[in-house]
Amino acid sequence: MVSTNPFAALTASISPAFMKTYVVLMVIAVVAGTLFDVLHKGSAKYFFDNWRTAKKKGNKPVGSVHLASLAVQTAVVDVAMSGEFCNARRRVAHLLTMYGFIAYVISTAVMVFGYATMAAATPAIWPLLWHMGALLVCVGGYWFWFFIRVDVAAEGQTPFRLMRADLFVLSLMASATLALIWSALQAAGAGWSIVFFWLYIIATTVLFAGVPWSKFAHMFFKPAAALQKRVSEADGSRSKLPAPADKPEIFGSARRQPRHY
């Protein structure tokens, strides 16, 4: 199963041209949805206005070499390692989902455009990445949804409570889950595997076409916001918080143990 290109096996009933057209349409949907999100919410205007305002407050110039260094730090720490998450479990779940999603999307594009026919032998690495990516999405997504969601337990809410902001993670989990089920049924020769293929298509369409109503577009803003934060700290325009109150060297006296009379 994990070494078989599920899209190539599908060509007996569905044209490769249909699959390629679908992938192109999903790319267009993401671009159009992100642009709509930017224009509708004014995210880009707010971001650049805020950056210009912060830059005027800076008292230390940031050279091109320093800026490049900050960009590398942002890419490594904030993007590749999800350094914005202080909670270790949340960070691990996010990394599993993120890298699984990247592998899932890239391998899908490669298999559809490069090997979506039975005549073209698919290198084993691409089906493996596709299945492993979908599995990582499921592990990270379900772990987050049922065990890490913020305030669900504290507020006494059920983990099945749905909000519009949940559209991205739910549609991503549904897409990856249905993809694995479809692939397993197809490998087993089940004739009704095509039902799960169309369910997979529906979930994937919601994932990519629902960008204006989900948090999908945030992944494009977060790296830029993280870089802006580092630049603001470097040029002095971002005010730093005072030291914690339990620092005795700052406040002049060490804390004492409470006395009980």
| pLDDT in the model for residue 243 | 46
Query: Exposed, middle or buried, 121 (CB in 10 Å: 0-12/13-18/19+)?
Result: exposed
Distance CA 230, CA 59 (A): 15
Quick one: three-class SS letters along 194-221?
HHHHHHHHHHHHHHHHCHHHCCCCHHHH
Distance CA 109, CA 116 (A): 10
pLDDT in tens, 145-179: 888 875 565 666 666 677 777 889 999 999 999 99
Query: DSSP code of 164?
Result: G
If DSSP codes are grouped into helix, strand and coil, which group holds residue 103? helix
- For the record, the structure tokens of 174 come out as 């549904």
- For the record, the structure tokens of 103 come out as 């592998």
Calculate mean pLDDT across residues 95-120: 90
Distance CA 65, CA 71 (A): 10
* 3-state class percentages of the chain: helix first, strand second, coil last, to nearest 5: 70, 0, 30
Domain limits, the chain: 6-43+93-224
* Residues above pLDDT 70, as percent of the chain: 78
**Full-prediction pTM beyond 0.85?**
no
Query: Exposed, middle or buried, 69 (CB in 10 Å: 0-12/13-18/19+)?
Result: middle
Distance CA 232, CA 48 (A): 13
